[in-house]
Amino acid sequence: MARDQLAFVRTHMLPEAPPPTAQTGAVKWLRENLFSSPGNALLTLVSAYVVFQIVISTAPWFINGVWESPSLTACREILDGKMGGCFAVLTERWNQLLFGFKYPSELYWRPGLAFVLLFIAAAPVLFGKIFPRKMLIFTGLYPFIAYWLIWGGSVLVPVFALLGVLVGAFTYSRVVTISAGVAVIAAFVAALIFWILSGYVTGPMENVMAIQAVASRDMGGFMINLMLGVVCVSLSLPLGILLALGRQSSMPIIKWICVVFIEFIRGVPLITLLFVANVVLAYFLPPGTNFDLILRVIIMITMFSSAYIAEVIRGGLAALPRGQYEAGDSLGLDYAQSMQLIILPQALKISIPGIVNVAVGLFKDTTLVSVISMFDIVGMIRGPILASSEWNGVYWELFGFACVLFFITCYGISQYSQWLERQLRTDHR
């Protein structure tokens, strides 16, 4: 009886007790992430001190920065002995940093417009799900529009260049049913013949619908870096795919041509290839032809990056299970079809991070053209700006600006590629 009275049955749940203060919120986070052990606490304090010192020593440089001043001496007078950056060099030489020092200033809107259009052209490629597919037509036309905007001259040149590409594409679609390899070569040859012939038309008619032409040697600044980066990456993608397929080919001669090309290019530094563009390539062109330096540099950088992209794509091709190739064969697809429909979409998807790495690396490497005395952004900083009497000695502001430009671009691209990887992940994890 007594037991029954002593018995206690709880009829409802106790309210949840709050966790100990050390186990919740900011305190828990601090304890786990910053002060989990004496060693870690020490490490935290040391790094916090380092960060604090860096902030303290550079903050006045930014806060006291001078944004309006005609020269370094004037800027130092404004600062009056205080520590501060002379960011006025950026505002005063803004156009030079972006367009070089010889591009006609009344035409700045043209490369500016080309830059804005670049985003419209790139949007359907980069964000295929958001933008309509019809915008890809503009993407296809963009290179020719951009060329016309930046270089100017007769509209016939980009039009005929576009027609040449169409001729090549038409030839490819005709011959591809016979043999994919022959079709690629035939397309190249047909386009080349068309371009050579069209030279006889555009040559004498260079004033038809012409806007003011700008010579390549008048271009400079960050514009060159962007141009080289965009042009060379877009050109080297198809070339890289061809080289990768060639290297995987069962035909020994094709395979060895590709292997030798890829290994040779990958074995030498870009700077030697730029030397080739600068001083050697002219020897191998027909006497009397005068290729632009920019064009020669584009050729060499494209060769350079296509070898690297080829290796990345080869990795993607090799990562595909053998069954995918066999599936293509068993469906009765020929080589071109099975590549286009089965192999390449998967292989390219695997290779995206690698391709983006190559693209970012290539974009950074475009600064090397300053070594062969082209005035890209680094060339502009080291040459005309730092050598001028007004701004002799403003190193940090200028180099810092170049760093920021490259950081934004490259970091943006790599973040995009990570986003794309997540989008394309079709396996359900």
Would you tell me which residues interact with another protein (CB under 8 A)?
A: 32-34, 36, 40, 43-44, 47-48, 50-51, 178-179, 181-182, 185, 250-254, 257, 263-264, 266-272, 275-276, 279-280, 282-287, 360, 364-365, 367-368, 370-371, 378, 382, 393, 395-396, 399, 402-403, 406-407, 410-411, 414
Q: Which is nearer to another protein, 89 or 368 (CB)?
A: 368
Question: Which residue is associated with the tokens 């994890």?
Answer: 429
Q: Which is nearer to another protein, 67 or 396 (CB)?
A: 396
Considering the complex, what minimum distance in angstroms separates the CB of residue 353 from another protein? 11
Structure token pair of residue 86: 């002379």
Reduce the DSSP state of residue 356 to 3 states and report it. Answer: helix
Give CA 352 to chain center in angstroms. Answer: 13
Evaluate whether 84 touches 60 at the Cβ level (below 8 Å).
yes
Structure token pair of residue 162: 């576009």
Question: Which residue is associated with the tokens 């005609």?
Answer: 70
Q: Which is nearer to another protein, 44 or 139 (CB)?
A: 44
Considering the complex, what minimum distance in angstroms separates the CB of residue 264 from another protein? 7
Angle of helix 344-365 versus helix 293-319 axis, rounded to 10: 140
Task: For residues 401 and 381, give the distance between their C-alpha atoms in angstroms, rounded to a whole number.
Answer: 10
Considering the complex, what minimum distance in angstroms separates the CB of residue 332 from another protein? 13
Task: For residues 227 and 297, give the distance between their C-alpha atoms in angstroms, rounded to a whole number.
Answer: 11
Q: Which is nearer to another protein, 39 or 132 (CB)?
A: 39
Q: Which is nearer to another protein, 139 or 179 (CB)?
A: 179
Task: For residues 225 and 236, give the distance between their C-alpha atoms in angstroms, rounded to a whole number.
Answer: 16
Considering the complex, what minimum distance in angstroms separates the CB of residue 10 from another protein? 39
Task: For residues 49 and 57, give the distance between their C-alpha atoms in angstroms, rounded to a whole number.
Answer: 12
Q: Which is nearer to another protein, 14 or 253 (CB)?
A: 253
Q: Classify residue 394 as left (phi > 0), alpha (psi -120 to 50) or beta.
A: beta
Considering the complex, what minimum distance in angstroms separates the CB of residue 378 from another protein? 6
Evaluate whether 325 touches 344 at the Cβ level (below 8 Å).
no
Considering the complex, what minimum distance in angstroms separates the CB of residue 294 from another protein? 19
Considering the complex, what minimum distance in angstroms separates the CB of residue 16 from another protein? 28
Considering the complex, what minimum distance in angstroms separates the CB of residue 289 from another protein? 9
Task: For residues 398 and 377, give the distance between their C-alpha atoms in angstroms, rounded to a whole number.
Answer: 10
Count the residues in the chain: 429
Considering the complex, what minimum distance in angstroms separates the CB of residue 389 from another protein? 17
Count of C-beta atoms within a 10 Å radius of residue 107: 17
Count of C-beta atoms within a 10 Å radius of residue 320: 15
Phi then psi dihedrals of residue 37, to 5 deg: -150, 165
Task: For residues 222 and 215, give the distance between their C-alpha atoms in angstroms, rounded to a whole number.
Answer: 17
Q: Which is nearer to another protein, 32 or 68 (CB)?
A: 32
Phi then psi dihedrals of residue 336, to 5 deg: -60, -45
Q: Which is nearer to another protein, 118 or 257 (CB)?
A: 257
Evaluate whether 374 touches 296 at the Cβ level (below 8 Å).
no
Considering the complex, what minimum distance in angstroms separates the CB of residue 407 from another protein? 5
Structure token pair of residue 49: 């001190």
Q: Which is nearer to another protein, 57 or 207 (CB)?
A: 57
Q: Which is nearer to another protein, 121 or 270 (CB)?
A: 270
